[in-house]
């Protein structure tokens, strides 16, 4: 198994849909081409921002195939493969590996949340890691699953040799610090939101996976680089500016806002799938303001990004 470096910034790419609601192959290609200009460590495909929950089986595989085609082999493609059943998770992980995924990002099963004891969760993740030919990452996403994996659960899972890290979107940085202190140094910790990127780095995270990296990749990379160079004043200043733009395209308005911002930037955003609606006009105006306050101009409809 190759040694995967999980250092740096990873955008979790949205899945673009065309006017008929089908996957927009050219939109995807264009977006990945744009992102390819930046020093990103890799990409997450089929994450929460990728509307994995809205795709059927065929679309899931087709998207992976297309994404891999446009992601250079020297950039990691991490693929969300978590399903409620262990078997389906294993199956999708196999398929993802076959289609060129470098690692699998596995959400905890959450439908029967009342029954998801630590023991059940640990056995699930270990079964997936046992079966997978590619390395596995834990994906803690309480905002979507309604379950927050605790440090003890993650540390038990992290002992498995095929588990290489976690994307944690919960924002509990004390937990990230605990993971850093007690997990093997090779276990990678990735901040799951740009809202706490620098705080996570301050306690030993290796990088981050966040929506904002799709539309403001350079500031996100700059935070990482400033931190690497111990230039804390710069890192802090950028981090503080990014909090509201990040909240706008995640907690507040989610994927519809992320896609709206991409459209404004001349990238391919398009409409999310129902039940999500395109961002309302009044929120578009607020979105432009929030980004303007942070020094990012969404109003220009910048064709040069295509």
Nearer to a second copy, 32 or 183 (CB): 183
Does position 69 interact with a second copy (CB under 8 A)? The reply is no
List 48, 153, 169, 214, residue binding a second copy (CB under 8 A): 48
Tell me which residue of 44, 16, 18 sits closest to 31, measured CA to CA.
Answer: 16
Does position 286 interact with a second copy (CB under 8 A)? The reply is no
Nearer to a second copy, 199 or 266 (CB): 199
Residues sharing a CB contact under 8 Å with residue 290, sequence separation 6 or more, in sequence order: 244, 245, 248
User: In this structure, is the dihedral angle defined by the CA atoms of residues 26, 13, 100 and 74, taken in order, positive or negative?
Assistant: positive
List 5, 69, 232, 300, residue binding a second copy (CB under 8 A): 232
Does position 284 interact with a second copy (CB under 8 A)? The reply is no
H or E element: which one contains 77? strand 76-80
Buried b / exposed e along 240-270 (16+ C-beta atoms within 10 A): ebbbebbbbbbeebbbbbbbbbbbbbbbbbb
Helix 86-98 × helix 57-70 angle, to 10°: 30
217, 35 Cβ separation under 8 angstroms: yes
- Would you call 167 a catalytic residue per the annotation? yes
Closest contact distance (angstroms) between CB of 235 and a second copy is 8
Does position 186 interact with a second copy (CB under 8 A)? The reply is no
Max distance between CA atoms of the chain, in angstroms, equals 52
Nearer to a second copy, 36 or 57 (CB): 57
List 274, 282, 303, 304, residue binding a second copy (CB under 8 A): 274
Nearer to a second copy, 29 or 276 (CB): 276
The Cα–Cα gap between 53 and 251 comes to 17
- Of the listed 33, 87, 167, 175, which one is catalytic? 167
Site residues for a second copy per CB under 8 A:
21, 48, 53-57, 84-88, 91, 109-116, 120-121, 123-124, 127, 143-146, 171-174, 177-178, 180-181, 193, 195-196, 198-204, 230, 232, 235-236, 239-241, 243-244, 246-247, 251, 253-256, 273-277
């Amino acid at each position: 198994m190759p040694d995967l470096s999980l250092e740096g910034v990873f955008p979790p790419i949205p899945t673009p849909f065309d006017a008929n609601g089908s996957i927009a192959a050219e939109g995807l290609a264009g977006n990945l081409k744009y992102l390819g200009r930046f020093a990103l460590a890799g990409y997450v495909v089929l994450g929460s921002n990728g509307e994995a929950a809205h795709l059927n089986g065929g679309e899931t595989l087709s998207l992976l195939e297309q994404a891999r085609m446009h992601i250079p082999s020297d950039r990691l493609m991490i693929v969300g493969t978590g399903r409620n059943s262990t078997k389906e998770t294993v199956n999708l992980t196999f398929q993802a590996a076959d289609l060129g995924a470098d690692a699998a990002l596995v959400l905890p099963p959450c439908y029967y949340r009342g029954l998801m004891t630590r023991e059940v969760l640990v056995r699930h993740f270990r079964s997936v890691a046992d079966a997978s030919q590619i390395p596995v990452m834990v994906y803690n996403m309480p905002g979507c699953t309604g379950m927050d994996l605790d440090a003890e659960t993650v540390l038990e899972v992290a002992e498995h040799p095929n588990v290489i890290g976690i994307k944690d979107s919960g924002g509990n940085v004390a937990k990230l610090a605990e993971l850093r202190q007690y997990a093997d140094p090779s276990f990678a910790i990735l901040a799951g939101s740009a809202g706490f990127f620098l705080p996570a780095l301050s306690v030993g995270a290796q990088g981050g996976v966040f929506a904002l990296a799709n539309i403001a990749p350079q500031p996100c990379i700059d935070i990482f680089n400033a931190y690497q160079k111990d230039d804390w004043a710069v890192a802090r200043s950028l981090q503080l500016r990014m909090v509201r733009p990040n909240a706008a395209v995640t907690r507040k308005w989610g994927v519809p806002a992320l896609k709206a911002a991409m459209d404004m930037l001349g990238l391919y955003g398009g409409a999310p799938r129902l039940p999500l609606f395109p961002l309302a006009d009044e929120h578009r105006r607020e979105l432009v303001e929030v980004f303007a306050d942070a020094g990012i101009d969404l109003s220009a409809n910048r064709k040069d990004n295509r």
